[in-house]
């Protein structure tokens, strides 16, 4: 194992609830609907554009808006999100993550971010982890979002590794699919029935360690 490729939302910190708050505001103000609470899960790990398409489908309004109107909704969503995101600090880092990053760094393993979020650098800055990573893949530079492999391939490329030399960490089924399609080893964090395609699933981030990742990689 020469590198670890990290998803952000759901692996390093919980921004899903902030994304969902922002989408709920757009849904209420612009579409006059309420998003049910379980919709938060449907939006995890997928891009901003894919998210609005799912919401428009749910609202039964898929063909009612021009691309300029959709763009305006996306901008509003991001403005709401940034306002919420500004409240994050290092208390919002998931348990065990800072320790894991330090263990990996000490072992000479390269660390790269494979998040669908264009706001990943800003989030990492807010929680004080930006300097711990060797690279951040830019989701606007890849053709296809998760579950396509592109963002994990790009995250590995940015640390000059082939994906098969890396472990990918994900909390979403679409993300696990993305890691496997990129030909890296997948460790899922969360529910093993949802993440059944992962090579190993742990219930939460505090189970992660250098030795666990090395064991999974070498098994
Ligand atoms: P942005 P991840 C994903 O992050 C979120 O889970 C998803 O809800 C969001 O729509 C996506 O980033 C895009 O985020 O609007 O900030 O560009 O799980 O891939 O780290
Ligand atoms: Mg995620």
Instruction: Let me know: does 98 contact 208? Beta carbons within 8 Å.
Output: no
What pLDDT score was predicted for residue 48?
93
Asked if residue 111 belongs to a known ligand binding site, the reply is no
Per-residue pLDDT tens for 132-145? 999 999 999 999 99
Per-residue pLDDT tens for 28-62? 999 999 999 999 988 988 899 999 999 999 999 99
What pLDDT score was predicted for residue 26?
97
What pLDDT score was predicted for residue 45?
86
* Average pLDDT score over residue span 125-132: 98
Nearest to 169 by CA among 107, 115, 127: 115
- Cβ atoms within 10 Å of 195's Cβ, excluding its own: 22
Specify which residues 68 forms β-bridges with: none
What pLDDT score was predicted for residue 42?
86
DSSP state string for 61-72: -TTSS-HHHHHH
Instruction: Let me know: does 3 contact 165? Beta carbons within 8 Å.
Output: yes
Question: Mean pLDDT score of the chain, rounded to an integer?
Answer: 96
Distance 48 CA to ligand 1 centre (A): 7
Cβ of 178 closer than 6 Å to ligand 1, yes or no, is: no
Residues found in the chain: 219
What whole-number distance in Å separates Cα of residue 51 and Cα of residue 40?
10
Instruction: Reduce the DSSP state of residue 32 to 3 states and report it.
Output: coil
* Exposure class string for 75-110: b at 16+ Cβ within 10 A, else e: eebbebbeebbeebeeebbbebbbebbebbeeeebb
Q: What is the best residue among 7, 24, 116 to mutate for testing ligand 1's pocket, by most ligand atoms within 8 Å of CB? A: 116
Extract the runs of DSSP E, i.e. beta strands, from the chain. Answer: 3-6, 110-113, 135-136, 166-170, 185-189, 200-202
Q: What amino acid positions are annotated as catalytic residues?
A: 7, 9
pTM attached to this predicted model = 0.93
Instruction: Reduce the DSSP state of residue 48 to 3 states and report it.
Output: helix
Per-residue pLDDT tens for 142-184? 999 999 999 999 999 999 999 999 999 999 999 999 999 999 9
Residue nearest to atom 14 of ligand 1 (CA): 117
Per-residue pLDDT tens for 60-112? 999 899 999 999 999 999 999 999 999 999 999 999 999 999 999 999 999 99
Question: Which pLDDT band, with edges at 50, 70 and 90, does 118 fall under?
Answer: very high
Cβ of 47 closer than 6 Å to ligand 1, yes or no, is: yes
The rounded percent of the chain whose pLDDT value lies above 70 is: 100
What whole-number distance in Å separates Cα of residue 50 and Cα of residue 48?
6
């Amino acid at each position: 194992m020469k590198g670890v490729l990290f998803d952000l939302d759901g692996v390093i910190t919980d921004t899903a609830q902030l994304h969902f708050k922002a989408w709920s505001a757009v849904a209420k103000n612009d579409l006059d609907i309420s998003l049910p609470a379980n919709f938060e899960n449907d939006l995890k790990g997928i891009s901003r554009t894919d998210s609005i398409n799912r919401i428009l489908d749910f609202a039964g309004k898929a063909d009612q808006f021009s691309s300029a109107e959709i763009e305006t909704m996306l901008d509003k969503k991001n403005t709401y999100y940034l306002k919420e995101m500004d409240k994050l600090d290092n208390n919002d880092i998931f348990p065990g993550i800072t320790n894991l990053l330090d263990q990996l760094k000490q072992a000479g393993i390269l660390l790269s971010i494979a998040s669908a979020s264009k706001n990943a650098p800003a989030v990492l800055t807010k929680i004080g982890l930006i300097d711990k990573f060797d690279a951040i893949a830019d989701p606007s530079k890849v053709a296809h979002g998760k579950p396509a492999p592109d963002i994990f391939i790009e995250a590995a490329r940015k640390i000059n590794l082939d994906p098969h030399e890396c472990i990918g960490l994900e909390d979403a089924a679409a993300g696990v699919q993305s890691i496997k399609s990129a030909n890296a080893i997948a460790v899922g964090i969360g529910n093993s029935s949802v993440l059944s395609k992962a090579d190993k699933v742990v219930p939460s981030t505090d189970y992660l360690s250098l030795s666990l990742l090395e064991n999974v990689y070498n098994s």
